[in-house]
Amino acid sequence: MKTEQKILELLSNNGIRKTNFRIELLELFYKNKHGLSHRDIKEAIECMPDKVTIYRALDTFMEKGIIHKVPDINNVSRYALTKHECAETHHNHAHFICNSCHKTFCMDDIQIPEIQNAHGFKINSIKLILEGKCSDCSECSH
Amino acid sequence: MKTEQKILELLSNNGIRKTNFRIELLELFYKNKHGLSHRDIKEAIECMPDKVTIYRALDTFMEKGIIHKVPDINNVSRYALTKHECAETHHNHAHFICNSCHKTFCMDDIQIPEIQNAHGFKINSIKLILEGKCSDCSECSH
DNA sequence: TCTTAAATGCGACTATGTTGCAAAAATAAA
DNA sequence: TTTATTTTTGCAACATAGTCGCATTTAAGA
Ligand SMILES: [Mn+2]
Ligand SMILES: [Mn+2]
Ligand SMILES: [Zn+2]
Ligand SMILES: [Zn+2]
């Protein structure tokens, strides 16, 4: 299915109105393989929405599970498309942060380890964050 | 050895001057079992330092390895004492975040899993973050 | 076309964090 | 003890991230 079509369905299925901005925002998420910050979005979106509009779209997409938070080095919120189109239960996955370009990637195929309760702490979920160099930054030596 | 004594040695060994504020800040870190944010510190410290003074002390302690960053739910910087007094190499360890009180704890005894390189990503370090309920928050039901 | 609920823009606001510079305090040297 | 050097501190100004209320606009349904 074409991306454009998928985006319109995604908005329909979640009862979100098809405004130019929200369509363009989803296109941006589909185009990028890494997590996007508010600033990334502000700089990339053509129709120049107010910053509040961006924050509110991100909130809405989060609530509907269309996007999810990804970790970031500098304490900034980043988001990426939630890929599990079929899964009802949230598919927990690892994330990779490149120490060179600071991009964050979802690693859907890496196994999250099981940890048993420790010292009175009741563990509900586990986050695994890998750091290193992404493929783009590995190519150039030194 | 008494905490007071340990603090003075810690400052001496790292060439940091023994000001009232920095001593009090280290006392605060010794007293707390969980990570502290700038705001936590501002509210707890008696001698009411300027916010910049706090940020700079944290920077200095970080550089010397006296404290380290711990994760936080709301993208705020949090810090905790680095415990490995003997170890030269940085002892990598897991962290636990309580979803109820939002405190972060260092879990020195939990094994960090080994992950092999995946799809061109070169992995240098691994962070493991556990979420759930801490012992304080588990006690009270519901 | 008309209605209504969602989405947007604007202004004001809070919180976190940084930088430059001058004054104060801690340590080392005399 | 006094002096000199280097840290540490406080202040002001700034930068960026994020939130809230309210009036206006717009998408979608009747
Ligand atoms: Mn992800
Ligand atoms: Mn820790
Ligand atoms: Zn990279
Ligand atoms: Zn708790």
Q: Per-residue pLDDT for B31 more than 90?
A: yes
Neighbours of B56 (CB within 10 A): 13
Phi, psi of B131 (to 5 degrees): -125, 150
Q: Map out the domains of chain A with their CATH numbers.
A: 3-139 (1.10.10.10)
Q: Which residue, among B76, B121, B125, B134, would best test binding to A if mutated, counting the most A CBs under 10 Å from its CB? A: B121
Q: What is the pLDDT of residues B44-56, one digit of tens each?
A: 999 999 999 999 9
The residue among A101 and B86 whose pLDDT is bigger is A101
- Mean pLDDT (chain B, rounded): 91
Which among A115, A120, A134 has CB closest to B110? Answer: A115
CA distance A3 to chain B (A): 24
pLDDT value at residue A88 = 46
Give me the half-sphere count of Cα atoms (radius 13 Å) on the Cβ side of residue A24. 14
Q: What is the pLDDT of residues A2-34, one digit of tens each?
A: 999 999 999 999 999 999 999 999 999 999 999
pLDDT value at residue B90 = 57
Give B109's contacts in chain A (Cβ within 8 Å): 118
Q: Which of the four pLDDT bands, split at 50, 70 and 90, describes residue B119?
A: confident
Indicate the pTM of the whole model.
0.92
pLDDT under 50: residue ranges of chain A: 86-89, 142
pLDDT value at residue A91 = 66
pLDDT value at residue A111 = 86
Exposed, middle or buried: residue A35 (CB in 10 Å: 0-12, 13-18, 19+)? buried
Q: Per-residue pLDDT for B85 more than 80?
A: no
pLDDT value at residue A30 = 98
Lowest mean pLDDT of A18-32, B10-24, B107-121, name the range: B107-121
Rg (chain A; Cα; Å): 17
Asked whether residue A77's C-beta has any atom of DNA/RNA strand C within 7 A, the reply is no
pLDDT value at residue A140 = 62
